[in-house]
A and B are shown apart, each in its own frame.
Chain A
Amino acid sequence: MNSSAIAASGLRKAYGDKTVLDGIDLEIGAGTIFSLLGPNGAGKTTTVNVLTTLLKADGGTARVAGYDIATDPRAVRAAIGVTGQFAAVDDLLTGQENLQLMADLHHLRGGEGKRVVSSLLERFDLTGAAQKPASTYSGGMLRKLDLAMSLVTKPQIIFLDEPTTGLDPRSRRTVQDIVRELVTDGTTIFLTTQYLEEADRLSDHVAVLDHGRIVANGTPGELKNLVGGHYIQLRFTSAAELDSAARILPGSSQDQEALTLRVPGNGGTRPLRDLLDRLGEYSLDAEDVSVHTPDLDDVFFALTGRPTTEAISL
């Protein structure tokens, strides 16, 4: 198998004088899950639209499944499946008719088309609703139907633009399971998300997009290392206790208002035990203790200087 499914360099896109993509470089290995992570307005959907030939880039080049998006868009389209942010289903048609429409447009012959349609209905647990119009489907069912429609041709690369946004936790879990299952068949997944824990949980590689630039790129583990280590957080009931604890725990940093103390750790039990022993020596009791593992929220904050929540509400 070829090493990279998607390779982009210097992709740029602007609307008028508003730059949306400001030189995007990507290298995504075949058969892996890649997450493009960023708040609303970072340029995630634009990146997907450019790579899927829906939009022309103003500059830069990209190869998808080995084909140049600018000079060979038809070959690119034949190799990919796309599920956009908004359900791309025909809501007057039934679930089965929607899938059949895809099979027809892909010119699958009668028997083969029918087989693909019924196997997809079964796989996505939609057989029961197959004869009902898509307008009666719940959000989770629509997303599943939408995904199933992208899989009619067994594409090599699947683009999922915020596949779990707006779904309830259970449907979100179902979609995540499907994504994981797809990749075991050798499919490459390009996924965008604003959920940091989703990118962390699903993907082999993550790129963080901010204002049209990729500000970090690597495995979830590598990104977490960027922000530094784990820490243990202690909360005390009085400022006096906080002060005494800070004095006996070198390297710690305190927050006077929240009465908390952060002590560096490494995720193992050793520093935790030492810490508790030391507190015991001085008869200090913390009201609350928590072990903090850096997540992608911290990564985002460290990279952009803004917490994700603030960026999302922009």
Chain B
Amino acid sequence: MSTTASAPLTDSSIMLRRNFKHIVRNPVTIFNGALMPVLLLLIFVYVFGSAFKVGERYIQYAAPGMILLAITYGLSGTAVAVNSDMAKGIINRFKVMNVSRGAVLTGHVVATMLSISIAVAVIIGMSFALGFRSPATPLEWLGAIGIILATTFAASWLTVALGIAAKTPEAAGMSVVPLILLPFLSSAIVPAGQMGQGFRQFADYQPFTPIIESLRGLLDGTPSAGYAAAALGWCAGIAIVGYLWSRATFSRRA
């Protein structure tokens, strides 16, 4: 009888491998994660773009916003995956196996971050191909990547919490829709100043606006410390809420 005290790190990486196999075997997740943002990028740049007054070429304005869409579109698969884990017997098996309890959730978060990173890389590549140019220094690129990762991390934990809390996989899929819609109501697609009353105020105060503005600033070579601080603050807050909510719902449900 060989019993080893479960190492959270090993367990998490085993779970990560499992989650990654799921993602690869479920083409819908890949479609949502990478293809949807690419399609949106093409539609916005070639169909709507010329109708928006953004003060510069639309691709130049929209590329950072599209990166944000790549992040949020990558989330819906995670919520469904987390929820089906909870709904099926497999979670009980993990629990009676001395698997460290956080490993299941950490596996989902890290798998989501990896798949979103791929989608983001695709979007950045596409943006350059469509004429996006960035004067950013390597340090500013690093900052941009930091904002992207922080946003992904925070959104992933919140999504995991939404996935556990939902009653059915279908409800889990729906629960991330507000997260997917939020970037559209920020300055990601059009400047908040061009929005109608009410929406403008909402856009000004919702988390995605400082996130998108700090990203845009970094990529344009005009970083803003204020936006960056606000963005990181939002990310930290969302991550903590998502993490604590996940933990609490997980131990109640599983």
Contact = CB atoms under 8 A, between A and B. Distances in A.
B251 to A, nearest CB: 11
A54 B2 contact: no
Interface stretch (A78-86, A235-243, A257-265): A78-86
A202 B26 CA distance: 42
A97 B21 contact: yes
B224 interface: no
Interface in A1-58: 52-54
A285 interface: no
Interface string A72-90: 0011011110101111111
Contacts of B92: 54, 82, 84, 88
Contact of B1 (A85, A88, A153): A153
A92 B21 contact: yes
A93 interface: yes
Given A101-B14, A101-B18, A149 B93 contact: yes
Given A74-B98, A84-B89, A106-B97, A92 B2 contact: no
B3 interface: yes
B96 A106 contact: no
- State the majority secondary structure of interface residues on A: loop
Interface string A189-218: 000000000000000000000000000000
B19 to A, nearest CB: 10
B22 A92 contact: yes
A5 to B, nearest CB: 14
Contacts of A314: none
B169 to A, nearest CB: 13
A311 interface: no
Contacts of B11: 105
A80 B89 contact: no
Q: Which of B7, B26, B88, B92 has the most CB of A within 10 A?
A: B92
B90 interface: yes
Contact of A88 (B2, B7, B10, B90): B90
A96 B15 CA distance: 16
A156 interface: yes
B4 A53 contact: no
Contact of A105 (B1, B2, B97): B97
A107 B2 contact: yes
A156 B1 contact: yes
Q: Which of B4, B21, B26, B89 has the most CB of A within 10 A?
A: B89
B99 interface: yes
B18 A77 contact: no
A87 B92 CA distance: 10
B206 to A, nearest CB: 35
A79 B1 contact: yes
Interface residues of B, number: 26
Given A77-B98, A105-B94, A106-B97, A88 B18 contact: no
B132 to A, nearest CB: 36
B252 interface: no
B95 A78 contact: no
Contacts of B2: 106-108, 153
Interface in B1-42: 1-7, 10-11, 14, 18, 21-22, 25-26
Contacts of A107: 2, 4, 6-7, 10
Contacts of B21: 92-93, 97
Contacts of A180: none
A85 B88 CA distance: 11
A154 B1 contact: yes
A222 interface: no
A148 B217 CA distance: 56
Contacts of A153: 1-2
Contact of A104 (B3, B14, B90, B96): B14
Nearest to B18: A101
A78 B3 contact: yes
Given A78-B98, A92-B21, A156-B1, A86 B89 contact: yes
In the A-B complex, the 10 residue pairs with the smallest Cβ-Cβ separation, listed nearest first, are: A88-B89, A88-B93, A78-B3, A86-B89, A107-B4, A104-B14, A82-B96, A77-B98, A92-B22, A88-B90
14 contacts: A53-B95, A77-B97, A79-B1, A82-B96, A84-B93, A86-B88, A87-B88, A87-B89, A88-B92, A102-B97, A105-B14, A105-B99, A106-B97, A107-B4
Interface of A: 52-54, 74-75, 77-80, 82, 84-93, 97, 101-102, 104-108, 133, 146, 149-150, 153-154, 156
Interface of B: 1-7, 10-11, 14, 18, 21-22, 25-26, 88-90, 92-99
Given A79-B1, A84-B92, 14 more contacts: A54-B92, A74-B98, A77-B96, A78-B1, A86-B88, A88-B88, A90-B90, A91-B88, A93-B21, A105-B99, A106-B4, A146-B89, A150-B93, A153-B1
